[in-house]
A and B are shown apart, each in its own frame.
Chain A
Amino acid sequence: MATFAARHAPEHAAPPPGEGSAFLAVQFEDMGTQLATGKLGIWLFLASEVLFFSGLFLAYAVYRAHHPELFRYASLFLDWRLGAANTVVLVSSSLSAAWSVRAAQLGDRRGLAISLVLTLALAATFMVVKYFEYSHKLHNGVGWGAACHPSPEILASLPAAARALPVPEHLGTFFSVYYLMTGLHGIHVLVGMALFVWLLARVRRGHFGPGYWGPVDAVALYWHLVDMIWIFLFPLFYLI
């Protein structure tokens, strides 16, 4: 704490709010209790997120268990290279999010701002790749449920072995699960991006430092969960 105050002494006459107690909520005795309570709250929220996604993972498991051939065929419509690229992008964003927590704890405001901007940029990159994937499919008639009528062009782009097969009757079922799972995940990415913008606005106001970094940690924890879910979605959809 002292080093942070000393480093910023010329710019701030008063101790920077990042020092802590300015952000102590009325219901807490001290910053330590507030931090520990906030952390437990976030972990309980993440547990509810795991259960929230588990329903969709289960829909996937049931359909795949009973229709393995449909999943093998339908996954050929997905480009594993784009999925792998997005995995690298999201893992990198998790690294920079973890880095931002470290920077906040050490009172490195510049490092905190840079790592948050980097995380935001990587999250945006993920969504841009996803946008190209979705629009390519939807332009070629690969929608969900009954709205799945692949165009001759996209069918021609499949591997030769798949082109020889007739288009399965319930192809849209796979894409219902695909759009629901990756779509819900994408919504989580967008929410994460909004949270990073909020953190950045607070970094500008000098809110975070060694005495107060709970919100940075909370958003990073949420972001890591979003990364973890993608770690499962990637092999389950792209690498069948």
Chain B
Amino acid sequence: MGPPVNVPELRASSAHPAPAHGAPHVLPRSALLGTAAALFALTAVTVAAARLDLGSASVAVALAIATVKASLVALFFMHLRYEHRFHLVVLVGAVLFAVLFGAFVLFDTAQYQPDLRARETAERAKVR
């Protein structure tokens, strides 16, 4: 029978970061600066888009640009592009559940909106 794995001698011999998990991915300077430049440019784009009169599409445009910006932050600054895939699953999973949560709440509140308005009108009439 060999000794249990958790003995100090063995631990001392594994002082090098475990190669099993891969060496740390060090982001090159160009990737960091390029990501920041893209984020600054997209900030200018979102400000410019808001000044155009896009009507009801303006929210969608603003959210699309913000999503691209957030993805750049996640993929490069948070190095998700180089990480274990499961970390991406955790983040995207949380966002998907938030979207699901939002969709149901919006459907629900839209359902009782007419009743709410009718009640408001009735209360106003009573005050007068």
Q: Are A92 and B36 in touch, CB under 8 angstroms?
A: yes
Q: Chain B's interface: helix, strand, loop or mixed, by majority?
A: helix
- Say whether B98 faces chain A, with CB atoms less than 8 Å apart: yes
**Closest Cβ–Cβ distance, residue B8 to chain A (whole Å):** 11
Is B26 in contact with A102, judged by CB distance below 8 angstroms?
yes
The reply to whether B15 and A31 contact each other, CB–CB distance below 8 Å, is yes
Question: Inside 8 A of A30's CB, which chain B residues have their CB?
Answer: 11, 14, 17-18
Determine whether A124 belongs to the interface, using a CB cutoff of 8 Å to chain B.
no
A1 touches B16 (CB 8 A): yes
- Separation of A30 and B105 alpha carbons in the complex (Å): 46
Nearest-neighbor residue (CB-CB) of A225 within chain B: B78
Q: Give 1 or 0 for each of B48-66: 1 = CB within 8 Å of chain A CB.
A: 0010000000110011011
Size of the chain A interface, CB-CB below 8 angstroms: 60
Counting chain A CB atoms within 10 Å of each CB, the highest count among B24, B95, B110 belongs to B24
Indicate if the CB atoms of A80 and B105 lie closer than 8 Å.
no
Question: A94-113: which residues lie under 8 A (CB-CB) from chain B?
Answer: 94-95, 97-99, 101-102, 105-106
Q: Which residue of B lies closest to A39 (CB)?
A: B87
Number of A-B contacts (CB under 8 A): 160
Shortest Cβ distance from residue A43 to the other chain B in the assembled complex, whole angstroms: 5
Which chain B positions have C-beta within 8 A of A66? 109-110, 113
Counting chain B residues whose Cβ lies within 8 A of the other chain, the interface size class is: 35 or more
Encode B1-34 as 1/0 by CB contact (under 8 A) with A. 0000110000110111111110010110100110
Report if A206 contacts B (CB, 8 A): no
Contacts of B5 in A (CB 8 A): 29
Pick from A33, A36, A95, A228: contact of B74, CB under 8 Å = A228
Question: Is the Cβ of A239 less than 8 Å from the Cβ of B62?
Answer: yes
Q: By the criterion CB–CB under 8 Å, are B19 and A32 in contact? A: yes
Do B78 and A24 touch (CB < 8 A)? no
Contact B77–A95 (Cβ < 8 Å) = yes
Which stretch (A44-52, A152-160, A177-185) binds chain B? A44-52
Residues of A within 8 A of B50 (CB): 80, 235, 239-240
Please determine whether B32 and A46 come into contact, CB atoms closer than 8 angstroms: no
Whether A235 contacts B77 by the Cβ 8 Å rule is: no
Instruction: List chain A residues, Cβ under 8 A from B105.
Output: 58, 61-62
Chain A nearest Cβ from B48, distance in angstroms: 10
B118 at the interface (CB under 8 A from A): no
Interface residues of A (CB under 8 A from B): 1, 19-21, 24, 29-33, 35-36, 39-40, 43-44, 46-48, 50-51, 54, 57-58, 61-62, 64-66, 80, 84, 87-88, 91-92, 94-95, 97-99, 101-102, 105-106, 210-211, 213, 220-221, 224-225, 227-228, 231-232, 234-236, 239-240
30 A-B contacts, Cβ less than 8 Å apart? Answer: A1-B16, A20-B15, A24-B11, A29-B11, A32-B20, A40-B90, A43-B87, A46-B91, A46-B94, A47-B94, A50-B95, A61-B105, A64-B59, A80-B47, A80-B50, A84-B43, A94-B77, A97-B77, A98-B32, A98-B76, A98-B77, A102-B32, A220-B77, A227-B77, A231-B70, A234-B66, A235-B50, A235-B62, A235-B63, A235-B66
